[in-house]
Structures are given as structure tokens and as C-alpha cells.
Amino acid sequence: MNYIYAFAEDQTLTNQELGGKGANLAEMTRLGLPVPAGFTITTAACRQYLASAKQETGFLEDELMKAVHILEEKTQRQLGNAEQPLLVSVRSGAPISMPGMMDTILNLGLNDQTVIGLAEMTNDPWFAYDCYRRLIQMFGDVVYGIDKPIFEAALTALKNKRQVQKDTDLTLVDLKQLIETYKGLYVAAGQYQFPQSVDQQLRLAIEAVFKSWQNPRAQTYRRLNQIDGAMGTAVNVQQMVFGNYQGQSGTGVAFTRNPATGEPGLFGEYLLNAQGEDVVAGIRTPEPIATLKAQLPVIYEQFKTIANQLEAHYRDMQDMEFTIEAGQLYVLQTRVGKRTAPAAFRIAVDLVDEGVIDRPTAISRLKPTMIDGLLHPLFETSAVQQATQLLTGLPASPGAATGAIYFDAQKAQQAHEAGEKVVLVRQETSPEDIDGMVISEAIVTSRGGMTSHAAVVARGMGCCCVVGCQQLQVDYEQREAHFAGRVLKEGAIISVDGHTGRLYLGALPQQTGVHETTLGTVLSWCDEIAPFAVWANAETPQEVATAFEFGAQGLGLVRTEHMFFGPERIFKMRQMILATELADRQVALAALKKLQITDFKQIFSLAEERPCTIRLLDPPLHEFLPQNEVEQAELATALGISLAEIKRRIADKAEVNPMLGHRGSRLAVTYPEIYQMQVLAIVESALAVQTTYHHAVTPKIMLPLIGTATEMAYLKQLLQQTINDYLVENQQQLTYQIGTMIEIPRACLVADQIAATADFFSFGTNDLTQMTYGFSRDDIGHFMPDYQQQGLMPAEPFQTLDQDGVGALMQLAVQKGRQTKPDLSIGVCGEVGGDPTAMPFYRDLGIDYVSCSPYRVPSARLAAAQSQL
């Protein structure tokens, strides 16, 4: 294997070797598109460089000389030649896109001699010297770490001295003087020299790009996006074309579809007479691409054709960089474009409709986490109408967020660590700001367009973002922002609407749930291929309705204890718990039964024929009793007993270890009347709903915390008897099931015995994890951060299924349960039922459904389908 390949030289090379940019440049060259010539140094070279103790590029030398020679032949120019100088860009290009995180050098090849050659060749000395001073600046920054602001300050000082506003107002003499000043800055920064040898420039630039793989912002980006740090970056060396050349020249960035909404059609921005970084860095605010149609119609059409060709070729929305040099169009880069969550769904559906991709491909391109993005908040409409609008910018990334404003990333981070919600406000952002951007509720910039750094990064993170608030001036020194005669000081609270681009003073209330029609379409495709169903854990009518709206195919867990909260209900519950005589308990239970019937009727009618799994009372009774004396005294009065007596009865129920104490089905062994009341409430509600709504209701009654086959058999018999007596007495018929949670390790070990009487199983992974690890689910916060810091536990096991331990018990339970009953219905209703990473495991386990909270249902449907691809 070689380390260096000319574009399109070897068809077998992939992103892994060439990096995304290099592979795409090669592919575009093969497609016959106007791509400036160049070559790619592979990621293997970067790995070799970084691994060697001395970090030198000697091993590349022969191939580099050959590659440069071929490039010189192709371009009819030579590196370092004073008459026909070849100028190149040296760019990073990782296997997985990391926009703006690593380094790039443009205009390499200029020195005191070749700049004269370039001036003569182009007949434009100003342009040539401008290129040269840009090179010195970039080279200093990238190779020697001389901060950009040092160069910017020298440029500003010169403009102030000359009393001009724009760079282009400087004269040729000014530029030459600036170049000398810049060279002086090298010396001042550490006795460096700007190398006049172009060979040395090239080698140092390549090394700097290799090294930039390890810079802190690239490392942060990789950590956030789970990108393997061992891959290394490729380096692309490519002939420069000039968007800042005379005449019809310019540069731009465009997408084949709108990356914020997914709307089809070219979307992008460009600047005439500018180099690429001016657009990407947001230094000047560019024109929308539609304007190019009017300005340079022929080029616009040519670009549109290329864009369509690229999208059709890659079968996905493309993000392209282009440059126009003296009327000639070049495509510098194409890659699959980053997009917001709503855009991702719309594009996936549109591409299927257009026949470009099939449904499984569309599903595979979406991420479960994107769905949270779709359910992004909006501000309440009425609050927006009354709010004080401050400014409007470009809506770069949707969402609605409120926070205190900070003008630098570090301050924002400190405020965040102190518990504040922050909005990062900057003139423009740069990759160094990444740590501050990650923790911000929203990002606002005064400059830059929809493709600026801030916009791209925020969209990728799903963070609310507004860019290009032109009127806004940020005074970093005074730590305040000015606009239209107003001042906003650091710490002021603002609200940012990423859907409209508007900023408001103060905090605005939010509404949730943006309706996305394409989401429904994709999820219906998912249900067709998913290996198991997605149900929901819900108890209030509101939650149940939301769950079905989000496509839950059943209710996997209705926790009945949640129905006993609320002032009136808890009183009846307390009355029941504290009763010392069965007769008193029966009175309280009768009242509770009425309340339960109201709830169950609503749930059964909302569920229609979908399965509903109602779990009988689970928590230790002590949890329902008042802990403070005021409430205890009130309860004593209401029950007509003394405070001392109340305290005694409460103390009587206290347990040393309640989660392993008198809870779950154990309650029913002591107080069978509680579960008897609950099953009758279920049966009566089901019968009533069947009569009123004319649809079948088949309740699944679920017992919590079963650990032995005898418990299961005893309680099933008891409850069956109660139900059947009722049905016989009332001459009614109802199909129902009585099954169990599997949430005690012992239940997994004897699942064959339990399955003899259980009609179904549902894994309660919260308790199962708790008891398998011996980690209290309520106290894990005290020690889990230490485990994670020490690398002892990669993921929190209550949120991410522990496949090795808890999963092994589940496997055993499934195997043993189905040994007894081959068609035993089995689900997962603990928190990890919605864990996207566990879906392939569930598929292999052969379960029938997972059940999770309503808002996780859509992402679980997507993840379930993806496990099948």
C-alpha cells in the first residue's frame, strides 16, 4: 500500500483510507466534475506519523516528491516557480466528518518570489499579495500556534491608521507593509520565521494537519460523537482556485435541500470576491444562493446540474463547497449534509417518494435520538405575542430556549457549572468555543449565515440557534451587547426561538410537541419491519392518550399506585392502610374501588382493543403515610383517633429495608382484600366499557415482585376465584389474563415453574437490575459518578441494559418460561424497555414487546425497526 494517491487513482480505496473529503474528491473526479487536481495522503500515514517517537514525515518523502511532480505536470505549474507558481491547499479530512475541528492551510506555495510571479500571472498584484498575507496568517496560526487575533489586531491597526473600513480599501503598499508586520509577529511569538522554502512549507503544513487530529477541540468533538480516536486524518493537497480573483469570482457553500427543514431545492450562500473560509467562518454575511441565479445565471445553472448529479449519485442530500474563478466553476468538496431532525425525516420520506432510496435505507439513516429533536419545544403562542422582541436573525437550528447570556464560552461553562441555564452570544463562533456551545441552551451570533460554524455545529447537536443578528454588536471588553440603542449586560435573561430566528427579553413559557407528519410516515414503515411491538407505560388518561398518539400498540405497565396520589385519594389510601380491623379496611377499599373504576374505564375506552396491562399495588405501604407531624395531626383528626395512636400505627409499618420488605405481591399475601378490590375494579370497568363502546377489552392483570411459583399459584388462584365468583354472580363473561412481572433474580431462575401458572411475563428491569447488582435504584447517584470516573461501569445500568448480567438472567427466564409454555407472551416494561442500544438484544431474546414512557415510544419504534436491518 502506498501512502499517497492522486485523486481517483485507485478505485478500491474508501473513506477509511482517504478520509471522507478525499474519497469524495476522488469520486467527483471519476464522475468528470470540475474538481481542481490534487492528491490525498492516507490516514495510515497520519497514524504512522503520530505513532513514531520523533514525529517526522521522512517516510513519506519519496512518494510526496512524486505526487507533487505529477500534480505539477497536470496543472502546468510548479511549486516554488517564480513565473508559473503552483499554489495548493492542504486540508484535513477524517473518515467521519468533523467540520471545522482540524486544520487547513490555503495559498501554500507563496513566498517573496512566487508572489511576484502570481501577481504577473494574474495581472493582479493586489490579489497576489492579499493571498500571501492570508497564507502567512494561516500558516502562523496552524503551524506555530500564533493566535489569529494577533494577526487580526495588526490588520485592524493598519486599517485604523489608514482610516478605512474594509480590507479591500487597503492599497498594495499597505498589503506589502502588512506582510512585513506579519513576519515580525513570527519572530515576536517565539523566534519563528515564515519559511521561504515552499518544500518546507508543504512538509510543515502536512505535519500540522496530522497533529491537528489530536487537538483538544477535535478530541471533544470525537468524544461527543463517539468517533474512534485511533483512525487519524487524511490530508488533501489540492491546486488552489481563487474565489477572490478578479472578475466573476466567488465562493460558496450549498446544500441540495434545506438542511433546517428538508425542503427540496438548492439552498446555500455565497460571497463574490472571497475565499472559502470567509463564508464558513461567518466573517462576512453572505448572499442567498438564489441571488446567484440573477447575478451569474449560466454558472448557477451549471452548479444546479452538478448538485443534482451529486445527490443522485450519493443518493442523499449533499453539502457542497464551490468556487468560481474568473468565470470558471469548480467543486471543491461534497459530503452528506448535516441536517436538523425535522429535515432528516422529511428528506428520508421525500427520497423514498422520489424513488431514490427504499424504506429500509430511509429508516437506517435516522437516529432514535433525532426524535427528541422533533419533539423540541416551541414557545407558547400567546406568550410570544405579548413578549418584548429584541432582534431577529436567521433561524439556524430549531427549538425554544431561555437562559442568561454569556459572551465567551468559558464564562458560559462556569455559569453552567454553577447551575445556570445559559445562552452563548458571540459575534461568531469558532471551533474553540465547542465546550461552551455544548452546554448552552441556545447559541446566538451577530454575524454569519446558515452555514456558519455556529449554525452547523448547533444543528448537529440539536441545539437551538439563531445566527446573523446583524444589528447586534458584542462588546467583549465591557461584557455587554448593543443594538438599536439598547444594552444587554452579561447575565441578562433572554429567550431564543430557533424556529423563527427571534430573540425575546426575559423567560417565555414553552409548549412541547411539534407535529411532524413525516415522523408518522417513517414510524409506520418501522412498525412493518420491527421484530417486536412497542407498548407504553402510562397511567393518567393524558399519558395514555399521548402514548397512543405516539403509536404505542398497547399498555405494558399501568402502575396502579400512581392512581392513589392526589389529596382525596391519598386520604382514602391512608385510611385503608391504617385500618386495624378488616371491616374498616373494607370501607376504605370500597371508596378506593370507585376511584379505580373511574380510571380504568377511561383507560380501557382510550385503549380500545389494544392490550392493557394493569399492575396491582406494588410499593411498601409506608410510602403512602405522612412523614411530618402537621399532616399526621390532620390525619388523626380526620380518622377520629389521637396523634399518638397515628404515630404508633405509622411506626408499626416502618421497615429497615422497604424495597426488599413488605411490598409487591407480598402485600396481597397479608391483605388479600387489596388485590381482590383491584381485580374487581378492573373486571367491572372492562365489562362496562365493553357494553358502552362495543369493543372487546381483555385486561392483562399483572402481579409485581413474584419470586416463587407458590406465590404465583396461590395469588392466581385467589384472584381467579374472586373474578369468577363475580362473573357467575352477575352472569357475565370476560376474557382476562393473570401474569407476572419478572423482576426478582430468583424468578428468572425458576421461570419454568412460574410459567406453569402465569399467563404472561413482563421483565421489570428496574427491580431486576437493582437486585442483580445489589445497587439501590434510589441511591445510585451517590456512587455511580465515581464508578464512571474510574471507568468501572461504562453506562448507568438502570438506563442502558446490562446485557452481560441482567441480560443473561432474562435469557434464562425466556428459555425456561417458554420451555413450560412455548407461546408465553413476554415483554420488557422497565426503563431500559426504551433503550435503543438494547433493541438488537431484545430481538435475539425473542420477546413480544417492549414498553416505555410515552415520549420514548417513537424513538423505541425506530430503534426496534433498526434492530432488524
Q: Which residues carry out catalysis?
A: 453, 829
Contact segment (CB under 5 A) with Mg ion among 309-317, 500-508, 762-770, 804-812 equals: 762-770
Sheet with 480-483, side-by-side order of all strands:
473-475, 480-483, 486-489
Phi and psi, residue 40, nearest 5°: -120, 135
CB of 624 to ligand PEP, least distance (A): 15
Q: Which residue has the cell 421484530?
A: 531
C-alpha distances (whole Å) from 749 to each of 753, 805, 817 are 9, 13, 10
- Output phi, psi for 118, to 5 deg: -65, -40
CB of 666 to ligand PEP, least distance (A): 14
Comparing CB distances to ligand PEP, the nearer of 81 and 766 is 766
Nearer to Mg ion by C-beta: 250 or 764? Answer: 764
Per partner kind, with CB cut-offs from 5 to 8 A, the member of ligand PEP, Mg ion, none near residue 829 is ligand PEP
C-alpha 488/C-alpha 555 separation (Å) is: 50
Closer to ligand PEP by CB, 766 or 811: give it.
Answer: 766
Cβ nearer to Mg ion, comparing 174 with 743: 743
Residue bearing cell 439513516: 365
557 binds ligand PEP (CB under 6 A): yes
CB 674 → ligand PEP: shortest distance, Å? 16
Choose among ligand PEP, Mg ion, none what residue 861 binds, the Cβ cut-off being 5 to 8 Å by kind: none
- Shortest reach from residue 531's CB to ligand PEP, in Å: 21
Q: How many residues bind ligand PEP (CB under 6 A)?
A: 10
The number of residues in the chain equals 869
Q: 851 near 557, Cβ under 8 Å?
A: yes
Residue list 727-746, contact with ligand PEP (CB under 6 A): 743
Nearest CA to 515 out of 345, 348, 337 is that of 345
Query: Does 767 interact with Mg ion (rule: CB under 5 A)?
Result: yes
DSSP letter at 576 equals H
Rg (CA), the chain: 34
Say if residues 236 and 22 touch (Cβ distance below 8 Å). Answer: yes
Least spacing, CB of residue 743 vs ligand PEP, in Å:
5
Q: Is 749 left (phi over 0), alpha (psi -120 to 50) or beta?
A: alpha
Are the beta carbons of 500 and 381 closer than 8 angstroms? no
Decide whether 24 or 740 has the Cβ nearer to ligand PEP: 740
The site partner of 269 among ligand PEP, Mg ion, none (C-beta below 5 to 8 Å per kind) is: none
Report the Cα–Cα distance between both ends of the chain, in Å, rounded: 34
Give the binding range for ligand PEP (CB under 6 A) out of 137-145, 200-208, 391-399, 760-768: 760-768
Q: CB of residue 747 vs ligand PEP: minimum separation in angstroms?
A: 12
Q: Let me know: does 655 contact 661? Beta carbons within 8 Å.
A: yes
Under the criterion CB under 6 A, does residue 829 sit at the interface with ligand PEP?
A: yes
Please list, in sequence order, all residues whose beta carbon lies within 8 angstroms of the beta carbon of residue 801, skipping any fewer than 6 positions away: 765, 807, 832, 835, 837, 838, 841
Short-list 296, 302, 309, CA closest to 330: 302
Binding partner selected for residue 771 from Mg ion, ligand PEP, none, CB under the kind-specific 5 to 8 Å limit = none
- Interface with ligand PEP in residues 327-366 (CB under 6 A): none
Residue 715, contacted partner among Mg ion, ligand PEP, none, CB below 5-8 A by kind = none
> Is residue 711 part of the contact set for ligand PEP (CB under 6 A)?
no
CA separation for the pair 85, 82 (Å, rounded): 6
Choosing among ligand PEP, Mg ion, none, which partner's interface includes residue 416 (Cβ < 5 to 8 Å by kind)?
Answer: none
Query: Quick one: 109 or 554, whose CB is closer to ligand PEP?
Result: 554
Residue 663 near ligand PEP by CB under 6 A: no
621 binds ligand PEP (CB under 6 A): no
Residues 762-781 vs ligand PEP: string with x where CB under 6 A?
Answer: --xxxx--------------
Round to whole Å and give the CA distance between 765 and 676. 26
- For residues 740 and 803, which CB has a smaller minimum distance to Mg ion in the complex? 740
The C-alpha atoms of residue 862 and residue 837 are separated, in whole angstroms, by: 12
Nearer to Mg ion, 227 or 829 (CB): 829
Binding mask 571-590 for ligand PEP (x = CB under 6 A): --------------------
- Are the beta carbons of 253 and 319 closer than 8 angstroms? yes
Give dist(CA 188, CA 719) in Å, integer: 87
**Contact string 700-739 vs Mg ion (x = CB under 5 A):** ----------------------------------------
Q: Tell which positions 741-760 bind Mg ion, by CB under 5 A.
A: 743
Residue 835 touches which member of ligand PEP, Mg ion, none, C-beta under 5-8 Å by kind:
none
Q: Is residue 554 within 8 Å of 762, Cβ to Cβ? A: no
Work out how close the CB of 844 gets to Mg ion at its nearest, in angstroms, rounded to a whole number. 24
User: Which one of residues 95, 276, 707, 764 is an interface residue with Mg ion (CB under 5 A)?
Assistant: 764
DSSP string, 428-473: S--GGGHHHHHT-SEEEESS--TTSHHHHHHHHHT-EEEE--TT-E
The footprint of ligand PEP (CB under 6 A) covers 557, 559, 618, 743, 764-767, 829-830
Footprint of Mg ion (CB under 5 A): 743, 764, 767
